[in-house]
Amino acid sequence: MLKRETLPINDIYVPTKRRATLKPEHVLEIAESMLDKGQETPILVRLDGARYVLVEGLHRLEAAKALGETTIVGYLVQAAKH
């Protein structure tokens, strides 16, 4: 079972390919939801040396950044590098 962790946003690297899928209007919707309900779904990251690499949750991560958050809830997963 995965354990929820509080992760420092500045330590999360977003791969270029994943960043290309960003939809700003979706980030705004999620940010509004986070203000209302908090973060409902953790992001997924994998460890790569001293940093985390985003596996899933780009829009949630960007929404948290837009709200001025310094941490985000996520799961650390074992994922194959692509």
Query: Per-residue pLDDT for 18 more than 90?
Result: no
Domain ranges of the chain: 4-76
10 Å Cβ neighbour count for 67? 13
Domain 4-76 has CATH 3.30.460.20: no
Both tokens of 29, joined, read 């919707």
Q: Are 33 and 75 in contact (CB under 8 A)?
A: no
Q: What is the pTM of this model?
A: 0.89
Measured distance CA(30)–CA(38) in Å, rounded: 10
- Nearest CA to 77 out of 36, 48, 34, 50 is that of 48
Tens of pLDDT along 19-77? 899 999 999 999 999 999 999 999 999 999 889 999 999 999 999 999 999 999 999 99
The DSSP bridge pattern shows strands 71-76 and 4-8 to be antiparallel
Query: Per-residue pLDDT for 82 more than 70?
Result: no
Q: Does residue 81 or residue 68 have the better pLDDT?
A: 68
Element (DSSP H or E) covering residue 59: helix 58-66
